[in-house]
Amino acid sequence: MTSPRLPREDLTAAMAARRELGPDYDDAFIETIVDRIQETLDARSAAPEPQARFRPAPDGTRPDHDHSLALAVVSLLAAIPLSAIGVVNADLPGLFFVLAAIVLVNVTYNFRPRR
């Protein structure tokens, strides 16, 4: 749930009205703006606080963080130099070995038992 914000259009209109009315109405203008800010702050404090991302779950276990995408990206980046090393040292079987190892690491990570 997002917290309410002061509409930028409302503040812009209030500033324009203040300029038109002149310095005689500064106190009323400031009081109105302070009231709007106070309403926004009250609404934010009344809203339930979202659960922090890394806070332990109520049962004491840590929430599971899925790093599958990061592992896939790192695997693709690592595949380039490792494939070159495999091909230089063992030709086509070296390439297959490197790619099979990368696939094995990704499959093992994605199908590991979750706590």
* 35 and 71, same domain (yes or no): no
The Cα 77–Cα 84 span in angstroms is: 12
Tell me the pLDDT of the chain (115 aa) as tens digits: 454 556 677 777 777 877 887 777 777 777 877 888 788 888 877 777 665 555 555 665 555 567 888 999 999 999 999 999 999 999 999 999 999 999 999 999 888 887 6
Number of domains within the chain? 2
The Cα 69–Cα 96 span in angstroms is: 23
Give the closest residue to 43 by CA, choosing from 4, 17, 12.
4
The Cα 59–Cα 18 span in angstroms is: 55
* 24 and 69, same domain (yes or no): no
* 76 and 112, same domain (yes or no): yes
Instruction: Please state, as a whole number, how many other Cβ atoms lie within 10 Å of the Cβ of residue 93.
Output: 11
* Confidence (pLDDT) at 51: 58
Whole domain around residue 78: which residue ranges?
A: 64-115
* Confidence (pLDDT) at 55: 57
Read off the pTM: 0.45
* 38 and 68, same domain (yes or no): no
